[in-house]
Amino acid sequence: MKLRIDTARVSFVCTRAPEQRIAFDTGQAKTDRETGLPLWQVQLMALDTSGGDVIAVTVAGDPNVTVGQPVQVDGLVALPWNQESRSGIAFRADAIRATGAPLAGVIAHPGPPRTPAPTEARASPPPNRLVDG
């Protein structure tokens, strides 16, 4: 059963670089049965007036989006599944498209490697002296 999700009032941001879906048994890229395009999984933050959640969405064809980039998700469906003692919800979309440049300040870009401060030569502490008073 496919449950269509209305995304009209939902904002999405890519939170992890897209990854090709790989079949466990063959190690080969999974492909869409209808189009033959490779399947990609994109981790997205979905945000509306009630809050946010992170979901993984599968889409046919390379979505060509980057981390921190706002995206539009077309044709989003939820696919409940149950296999042996496990169950969950898979998300699938017809398309995921960038709607702007990556958000500034969302991702901390690695700077140059930090070098530790040089250790200072430290004088030995004075020996404890007992003073008769």
Q: What is the pLDDT of residues 105-120, one digit of tens each?
A: 766 556 566 555 555 4
Q: Convert the pLDDT of each residue in 26-41 to its tens digit.
A: 999 999 999 999 999 9
Pairwise CA distance, residues 65 & 39, whole Å = 14
Bridging pattern class, strands 70-74 and 11-20: antiparallel
What span, in angstroms and rounded, lies between the C-alpha atoms of 70 and 38? 23
Domains annotated for the chain, with CATH where assigned, are 3-98 (2.40.50)
- Where are any strands of DSSP class E within the chain? 3-4, 11-20, 39-48, 51-60, 70-74, 77-83, 86-93, 95-98
Q: Confidence class of residue 102 from pLDDT cuts 50, 70 and 90? A: confident
